[in-house]
Structure 1
Amino acid sequence: MQLFRKPKLTKKKIIILTVVIIFLTVFCIFQNKYLTVSEYTFTSPKVPASADGFRIVQVSDLHNAKFGRNNSRLIIKIKDQSPDIIVITGDIADSNHTNIDTAVSFCEEAAKIAPCYYITGNHEMWLDADEQKKLFSGITDAGVTFLKDETVTLDNGISLTGLDDESLYNGTLAKLSADIDHDALHIVLAHEPQYLEEEYTLSSPDLIITGHAHGGQFRLPFIGGIIAPDQGFFPKYTSGEYKSGDTTMYVSRGLGNSVIPLRIFNTPEINLLIIKAKK
C-alpha cells in the first residue's frame, strides 16, 4: 500500500514553469546588457567661455564586459553623445576573469572618438605584474592618457587631475590641488566615492567623477542601492550627484560586474556630464 503519492508535474505546471524561466532569463539579460545614458549638467562661475558646453563622457567599471562584438554597442553609444573628452574611471579589467585584450581593444576604439583619460581602479591594482604591464602599455599605446597622481591642463583651461587607486586617502589630492590656480575649474577623477567627506572635500575640487559602487548592485524603489564595495549594505554613495561643501561628486553605476555577477533594476550606464558657464 502506497502511503505517499508522488505529486505529478502536470502539463499546465510545466508550461507555467517554462514561461517563468524564460521571463527571468530575458529579464536578467536585459538588466545586465541594456545600455543607458545618465546626463548631468554642472554649472560654475569658474567655467571659462571656452569650456561652456564642454561634454565629458564617463566610462567606469567595465570589468571586461562586452556589449556587442568588440563592444560595438558601447562604442556607438559613446559616439552618439558627441564627447569632447572621455574619462575612464577604473576597473576597465577584472582581476577575477581577466581579459586584457578586451580592455585594450575598447581603449583603441574609444580613442578614435575623442581624447581619453584613464585612472586605475582597485581591480587593476590586484592584477599580477605581467598583467598590469600588458594593460598599462596597451592603454597608452592606444593613445589614452594615463593619469597617475598628476594634473593636466586641457586646452580650454580646465585642470584635470587623475588619482591612482592607491592614492585616494593619503593626502595626494591635497598636494596636487595646492599647485592649481584657485580660479581654475578643477575636475578630479577618482575611482572610489566613499572618501568624499573625509578626504576629497578637504582639497575643495569643484567636481569629482567616480565609480566603483556598481550602483549598489541591486536597486529598490525609495531605498536605492543594496550593497557596494567598501561601503557595505545600504551604501551612501551609489549613483548620481552628491554635494559636500563646495565640491560636487558624480558617481557612475558602471557597466560590468565582478564578484556579484548580476544587476537588478540597475542597468549598465555611461554618464554624460555637460559643463556650463554660470552667467
Structure 2
Amino acid sequence: MKRVDFGKTATDYRTHRAGFPDAFFTRAASLGVGVPGQAIVDVGTGTGTLARGFALRGAHVVGVDPAEAMLAQARQLDAEAGVAVDYRAATAENTGLPNGEFDVVTAGQCWHWFDRDKAAREAWRLLRRGGLLAIAHFDWLPLPGNVVAATEALILKHNPDWRGAGGNGVHPQAFTDLATAGFVGIESFAFDQPVVYSHDAWRGRIRASAGIAASLSPDAVAAFDAEHAALLAAQFPADPLVIPHRVFMVLGRKYD
C-alpha cells in the first residue's frame, strides 16, 4: 500500500475539492453541531473546509492536521473568507489540546485515515460532559456508466493499491466506532447533492485524491492526468459535468 500524503497535493486540494455544502451546516446545526459560540476541534482539518464553515457561523474552532502544507492553504482560504481558525499541526490521536474544554469534535472526510479507536478516545478526552463527536463525509457516487465510475476504473488502472472505489457515501463503521468508545444517543443523516465541475476542475479534483497525487510520483500523476483528460473528452464531452455526491454525518454524545 502506497503511503498517502495529502500535503503533496495541497494546491489542487485547495482549488478543486468541493467543500461541504451550506445544507450540511444547516442540518448539522439542527443536531447541535456548529452553532454560534461553540468550542469545536476539527481533526484532520486539511484545508479547513469544516473548520472554516463552522467559524463563519460563529463557532470558535481549532483545526488540527499533521500536514503543514494543508494548514498553510487553510490559513490563506480563511484570510480570503475573513475568518479566523486556530490551526495546530498535530494528529487526531494526539492533539495536545486540554482535557474537557470543547463542546464538539468533528472529523470531515478523514476518519478512515486515523487509528479510529485512539482518535475516538482522544475526542472523548477533549469533550465536556454532553459534548458531541461528529464524523462527516461528502463523497462522489459511482453509478453504472457515469463519469465517476469511469474515473475510478482509471485510477485503479494507474494505482491498483487504491482502496477508495465503489463507495456509496454511507460509512457504517462509524456507528460502531462511536458506540465502542462509549458515545451514546447516536444518530445520523444523509442526503444527496450534485456538484458541478468543469473538465479541468474534475481532473484537479481527482489529482487531489488519495489514489493519485497524494500517493503517486509526479511522473505517474502526469501520465494519469493525460489519460483522464482523453477519457473525459472521448466519453463524457459535456462540459461542465454534474457529479452526484452524498452528504453523510453520524454523531454521538459523551456522558460520564
Q: Same fold (TM over 0.5)?
A: no
Structure showing greater radius of gyration is: 1
- TM-score, length of structure 2 as denominator length: 0.38
Higher relative contact order (CA 8 A, sep 6+): 1
- TM-score, length of structure 1 as denominator length: 0.36
Larger % of helix: which? 2
